[in-house]
Amino acid sequence: MQLSPKLLGTLTDLLAPELRGSSSLSQHLAVRLRALAVELELQGQVSQPASKGALPLVEVQGDSLIAQPAEPAVRVANVPAVQPELSEVFTEVSRRSKHSMPRQFDFDRYLCRSVALELFYFGEVYQGYARQDHTANTIEGHLFSAMRQTKLIPHNADWQSLKYSRCGRTDKGVSALSQVLALQLRSSAKKGEQPPEIHQELDYLTILNRVLPLNIKVLGWTPVPEDFSARFDAVQRGYKYFIPQHGELNINNMQQAASYFVGEHDFRNFCKADVRHVSNFRRTILDFQMQPEPGIAVGGIQLWSLYVKGSAFLWHQVRCMAAILLMVGRGQESPTIVQQLLDIGQHPCKPQYNMLPEVPLLFHSCSFEGLQFHQPAHVNKAIEEAAVEALDHHAVRQTGAQAHQVVAEGSGTLVGRPIGQSPDTKEC
C-alpha cells in the first residue's frame, strides 16, 4: 500500500526536513531509518515490543514505501550505497561493543590436570627462584604471571589450590639447567571429559615461552598423578660449581677430599644454619666428582666443575663444600679436613669460613622415577643444547672474575691458619 503524501511528509519533517522535495527522498529516508534503528539498539530499546498505536515501522523496496505491521526491529532491503554518515555509525557501534563488553574467560568449563614442567633460567638478573613479598622479579613471579596472562591458571588462584611444588629453591644469582615444578593447569578438555593424550593437549611450552622472558624457558612437560610432589618425589639432585684451574690447584687432593662427602652424614658444618626451619642436618651425597669442562676456558685457563649429586641439600651446602675443597686445592687444608668437620663429636659447631660466590653455581639436574618429559617436535634437543651452552658461557664469564679472586685471596681461613687448628672460633 502506497503511503499517503501526508504521512510521507510527516516522516520527512521528523527525520530529514532538509530533504523535502528531493527526487530520491525515499532512499534517504531509508538510510535515516536504519541509522535510527542502530541508535535505538545501542540504547537497548529495539527489543521492546511496539506500544499500541505507535507509528508503523516500514520496509523499503526500491523507491516504494510499503506499510508493514509494527515489529521490534527495522528491516532495510535493497538500499543503495550506504552514505558516509551511516558507515561512521557502524564503526562507532563496533568500537563501543569491543570496549563495553570484555569477554570473561570461564575456567569452570574446563578440566584442570596435574602436570610437571621442566625449565631453565639465568639467575643473575633475578632475586632468586622463590616468590617474595617485596618484589615480583623472581623466577616464580615471572612464571606465574605468564600462566595468568595465558589463562592457564585463574588470576586469583592460590598456591595451595594449584597443588604447587618445586624440586629446588635456588638463591639470587644461581642459575638452573633443569628445575622441575608441579601444579594444576587448565586442559583443553571440558569438565566431565577424560584428559586428552599428550599430543592432543594444549601446547604448554609454546604458550608459556611466548610470554616468558628470554632467559626463562620451559623445556618440557608431562602429566603426573595428583599427589605428585616435585620436592619429595625427587630421587636425585645435581649441582655444578665452576672453578678455573690456573695450575696451582691440587686436583687429586680435591678429589680425595670430595670422596669423603659421599654417603649419609650430618652436614651442619657445611651449610648456613636455618634453625627455624631445619632440625635435621643429615643428608646423603651420592657422588662428588672433580671434572674438566671440555672446550671451555677463561682466558686460556681450563675450567673445572665440582659436580655433586645427592638426594637433598641444605641451605648453601654446595657453596660451603666447594669453599672447603678450594682450601684443600690450595694446600691450606689437608683432604682429611672433610672427615674432621663431618665428625660432629669433634666439631659440634661450624668453624668460621666464607662460602664461595653464588653466580658460578648451577642447579644442573634432578630426576624422578618413571618421569619422562615431553618435548614437541618444534621444541627439540637444539633448544636444550643452546641452553647448556649459554649457561656454561654465562658461568665462565662470571667465574673468570669471581672464582679467580677467591682462589687468589682465600675463602676465609682463620687468620691464615687452617680450620683444623682453629677450634676456638666457631659458629654455633
Q: Is 171 a catalytic residue?
A: yes
Angstrom distances, CA of residue 237 to CA of 12, 274, 287, 408: 84, 20, 11, 30
In the set 106, 158, 171, 266, the catalytic residue is 171
DSSP per-residue letters across 264-312: EEE-GGGS---TTT----EEEEEEEEEEEEEEEEETTEEEEEEEEEES-
Query: Phi and psi dihedrals of 384, rounded to 5?
Result: -65, -40
d(CA 128, CA 396): 20
d(CA 221, CA 130): 20
d(CA 182, CA 164): 6
* Residues contacting residue 169 through CB under 8 Å, at least 6 positions apart: 128, 129, 130
- How distant is the alpha carbon of residue 117 from its chain centre? 10
* DSSP secondary structure code for residue 2 in this structure: B
* Residues contacting residue 45 through CB under 8 Å, at least 6 positions apart: none
- Looking at residue 268, its amino acid is R
Positions marked catalytic? 171
